[in-house]
Each structure stands twice: as structure tokens, then as C-alpha cells.
Amino acid sequence: MATSSLEYIPEQQKSSPTHISSGQLPLDLHPPQTVEDDISGTQLGPDFPYYIFSEGNFLWKGCVRQPWQLMFCYLLQHVEALEILLQGLCGVQRERLRIHEICLKSGPHLGTVASEVRLLCDLEQSEPSWSVRHVGGAMRGAGAEQVSVLVRSMVESKTSKNALRLFYALGYKFDHELLRVGFSFNFYRGAQITVTVASINKMLKLHATDEAVPVTLGIQMVEVIAPATSENYTEVATAMSSFCEYLAPLLHLSKPGVSTGVVPTAAAAAAALMSDGGGTTL
Amino acid sequence: ILHWQPNQGSEMNSQVLEEISQCVETLNGVKEGSCKTSLTFYKPNLQDQSAVMDFPRDFMGISMPELPNKYFLIIRGQRIVLEADSSILVIMEKLQSYKPKAILNFEGELYKLGDFQIRVIKVVPHQTETLKGIMVEIDYLPISSVENSKQIMKEFIDIWKEVVSKKSLAGEFTHAETNYAEYGLGDNYTSQHTAVQYAAAALTQLIQSSQLRS
């Protein structure tokens, strides 16, 4: 199944504690390291699903044998209200989320260029389950200019539990780790969409997930993810954007560098949602 | 897994393979099909070749025909085995930290003998026809417990060795016990156990090939 996600980081509002700029985002979202990651102009076949990430209004996608990820990311205060809104929109039960993400970088000498790999451990299951994820570079060039989004590749593989030991043995070194705690909704609305709302937490001691604290207190990240392929990614992007508009009472999308400000009526909208449990039509 | 150990000075050739297949048929083994397991040896992609000793030299990847969506990674010296989705190969390609160095194919003919399955396997370097080794893989289907199946496996192996010895071939089958616990594997036999055995077989094969040459 392909997934696409639209990631958005709003411009900092100095007066508002609920917004932080992309520069302060407590995630390792960073520009690609290598020229070889540039896949602009690549001929993308129908068999190749994509990953799309967006920063602000940027989508990152790449041609890999993995689903797309359009990540929509917003740091907001009104989590409970958002949950009520999502419950109403999605019509499905929320699922709890607790993911330990360990980022490893290649040690000295290994590889002609440095590489980075992420290990994810799903702690919500009765038996922790692991996967390995590689996030590649952003698409550049004329194709990238034409879309109002950045595009990046991503590949994920489920693994048995020895992944960390294996990568350490191969010469990868620990770089950083974080714990995402929150919830997600998975539903169909023009595309198979997953919305995740989670706090980003850091561990005070190595791998001590029981002692994690929020990177920024009171801030949550929203990710909107939907599957896509090279054939249908524009339709998926449209479906996702349409869905994201329903979230507009509480948060909305913009390009990085273009200030959107706080949604002026967010507090009022949140209050309305909280008071009548989602019965309000926004 | 049993390895064919040819006598010093004798050859590994398809005649021996044929004779061994006949042994299976002597035991009323019924041919059921073929299979091919591939094992890739990886080497680190280094900026500075002098650092090569800092990285594992026994890092292998295995794909099994009955599990097309899976790939197994093994570092034998450190007793690490990892079962992954086959997309791990795409990740490795993107990481560019390790590259394939050599590929061994284990091409087997599958026979059924009552509750046992035997694969008569020829070990062939990728894209060649050169027979580098012969193996026999024995499965006892009713029992998944490694411990509980030891006795019956031993009895079968004894019978097998006796049948083979009647052919007066210039060699014999050898068998090495694998300590699965060192890999963190339990008593219940899984494809990870198989991967560990194939990794051991590949290294035995390498040693054998270099001994034959010397």
C-alpha cells in the first residue's frame, strides 16, 4: 500500500507560544546530503509508488518501491479539539501511537558518502515491532519548481528485532532518537488517509523510552499521510488538500516563509468543538 | 544440512551429484520440484581500504524462493540474524555502505520421503555452471521443535549416510550442529534458523573450495 503525507511547518509567530518555525522543529528534517539523491527528470514507471513529504507547502517524493508519504505537520495547542474534529470527519476509531525512532548515521570511512538510516520500534503493540526506514534527498530541478511542494524518497522495511544490533555491527553509529506519542486515524476520503497527532519526546537516558519528556512542552505534530503511485499522485494530493481544508478551523497549510499566522478563530473553534463534542459544524 | 566432503584429491562433479540423487530415489523419495536459494556476500564500500578490518567480513544476505517478500541478513561472526521485508535491499542500495561481492546459488531438487523432505543441492557461483559443492537439506515436517526432532533426525542421517556409503563414492557427508541460541533463536524452527544454516553452509563451502585449490 502506498502512503502519501503532506508536511507543513508554519511560520513562527513570536507572540504565540503555539507556533514554532521550521528552524526550531525538533525533527531531523534537513536538506538532502548528496547530489545523487536528485531524482529530477527521472522517468518514473507505473510500478513505482512514491513518498511525498512536504515542508510547508512543499511535497517531497521519490521513486522507490514504497508508498508515498505526504506529511502534513503542524504544531498546535488544541489537540483535544483536533481529536474531536478528526473523529467526526473520519468516522473511524482512533488508534494509539507510541513509536520509538532511532536515527543512525554511517561511521567514518563507511560508504563513499555518509548515509543515514532510521529504526522505528512500535511500542504500542504487545510485542514491540521494528522497521527500518531510509529517507532520501529532495527532488530538484524543473519538475520540482513546478510543484508547490518538495519531494523526497522514502523506503521502509519491517524487520525482526535485531535491527539495531545489525546496523551497529555494520558500522552505523547512534545519532539521535525520539519518541512519538499520540494517536492516529486511518480512513478513506478520496485516498486512503492516515492522520497522526503526536508529541515529540526526547529520552534523557539512552533508549529510556519510559523516561521521555516532550521536546517542546504542549506542542503536538500533525501528519497527514495517504497512499499513492506515480500514476495517481496528483489526485491523491488533491484529495489530501481537500481533506486538510476541513482542518482549517484549527490549522492550515502554507508555504514556508509565507506567514499564515495562527488561525484567528482557532481558539474559538476549539472551544466550540470541546463544548459540544463535535456536534458543531465548522 | 549435510555437506558433501570430497576426499582429498577427488573432484566435485555432476556424476557425484547424480549418484547422490539416486540415493534419494533408493529410499523411495519422490521428486516434487526445484528451488533456488541465493546467498550474497557483502563487502563494505570504503573510502579508505585500509579500514576494511574494522568492518564485518562475513555479512551475508539470503533470499529464499518460498518467501519471496523476505530477505535475511546475517553477520556470522557476531551471531546476528535479521529477517526483513525484501525492501531492505532497496534500502541497502540507497545507503551504498555495503555492496555485493559474490553470490552463491543453492540450486536444489526437492524430494519427499514420508514425513521427510530432502533437498539435494548443488552449490554454484552465480552466473556460472561450475559445481562448487553438494549439500543435502533434510526437513522433518511433523515436528517444529529443534530439540524434539534431534533424535529422529539423527536416525535419518545415519540411514542416509549408510545408503550413500554403499555407492562407494570418493567422499562423505558431514554435518555440523548449529547453536541457534547464540543467534537469539528459540527452539521453534523458523526460516531464520534456515538462514543461519545456509550462512554456515556458504562459509563451509568457501573453506572447502579454498582447500581443494591448495
A2 touching B (Cβ < 8 Å): no
Distance CA B61, CA B81 (A): 10
CB contact under 8 A, A110 and B94: no
B81 touching A (Cβ < 8 Å): yes
Residues 134-173 of B with CB under 8 A from A: none
- Dig out the grid coordinates for B51 from the structure: 579500514
B131 touching A (Cβ < 8 Å): no
Of A115, A157, A160, the CB nearest to B192: A160
pTM, two decimal places: 0.77
A121 touching B (Cβ < 8 Å): no
The confidence score (pLDDT) of residue A262 equals 54
Distance from CA of A245 to the nearest CA of B (A): 34
Q: What is the per-residue pLDDT across A81-113, written as a single tens digit (0 to 9) for each? A: 788 888 888 888 889 999 999 999 998 888 888
Distance CA A96, CA A77 (A): 19
Phi/psi of residue A79, each to 5°? -70, -45
Please state which CATH number belongs to domain B2-212: 2.40.320
Lookup result for grid cell 529422529: B152
B67 touching A (Cβ < 8 Å): no
Q: How many residues are present in chain B?
A: 214
Domain locations in chain B?
2-212
The confidence score (pLDDT) of residue A103 equals 93
Q: What is the per-residue pLDDT across B58-104, written as a single tens digit (0 to 9) for each? A: 999 999 988 999 999 999 999 999 999 999 999 999 899 999 999 99
What is the average pLDDT value for chain A, to the nearest integer? 65
Q: What is the per-residue pLDDT across A206-220, written as a single tens digit (0 to 9) for each? A: 888 888 888 776 667
The confidence score (pLDDT) of residue A98 equals 94
Per-position pLDDT tens, chain A of length 282: 223 333 333 322 222 222 222 222 223 233 333 322 333 323 333 322 223 333 322 222 322 222 333 344 444 456 777 888 888 888 888 899 999 999 999 988 888 888 999 999 999 988 999 999 998 766 566 655 554 444 556 788 999 999 999 999 999 999 999 999 999 999 998 888 888 888 888 888 888 888 888 877 666 777 776 666 666 767 777 777 788 778 777 765 433 333 444 566 766 777 777 776 545 444
Distance CA B94, CA B87 (A): 11
- Which residues from chain A sit within 8 angstroms of residue B96, using beta carbons? 111-113, 115
Average pLDDT value for residue range B160-182: 85
